Amino acid sequence: MERPAIRIVPGGPMLVDGLPLGRLEHDGDDWRLDPVTEAGSSYAICRCGTSSAMPLCDRPAPYRCFDEEPPTGAIPAPYRWDVPDPAGPPALGLKPNGPVRVVGDVAITYAGEPVETRDRISLCRCGESRCQPLCDSSHKVVGYRG
């Protein structure tokens, strides 16, 4: 089986291959991952917020729908979550009104450059993070809904 992959297009969507799409739902003190069956295993997640098919992108290739310049130099290292349990199998979940949460061994690239991966990583889907492609919680400031 090939390693699941996410290719982030600057100014466009996250192109996902080999990972089922899920939604994170708050279940008391924990989060539960509910599958989104209409996506299949290869799909594009909207990062501009204007898709009529949210959370999926409805634009054709080359996808570009907002101005975003990839950083020059190294992509910031993701925040390391201090959790006691291993990540488990690869999974992707959309946090309500927040980022894309990715767990497990997933190859991630942004503008063709590899992103340092960890057991768990949060990717921006509001388009406003100052440390793209990673989430910096800007979705809370701008009131992102999705």
What is the chain's alpha carbon radius of gyration, rounded to the nearest angstrom?
14
Q: What is the pLDDT of residue 88?
A: 74
Whether residue 55 has a cis bond before it, omega within 30° of 0: yes
- Rounded Cα distance between 94 and 83, Å, is 19
User: In this predicted structure, what is the pLDDT of residue 30?
Assistant: 75
Using the structure block, give the residue that is written with the tokens 């949210």.
54
- Does residue 21 contact residue 6 with C-beta atoms inside 8 Å? no
Condensed to tens digits (0 to 9), the pLDDT of residues 66-124 reads 787 766 666 665 555 555 555 678 889 999 999 999 988 899 999 888 988 778 889 99
Predicted structure pTM score: 0.84
User: At 40, is the pLDDT very low, low, confident or very high (cuts 50, 70, 90)?
Assistant: confident
- Residue 75 has a CB neighbour count (10 Å cut-off) of 19
Query: Which residues, in sequence order, are CB contacts of 61 under 8 Å at separation 6+?
Result: none
Q: What percent of the chain has pLDDT over 90?
A: 28
Q: What pLDDT, on a 0 to 100 scale, did the predictor assign at position 82?
A: 54
CA 59 and chain centroid, separation? 17
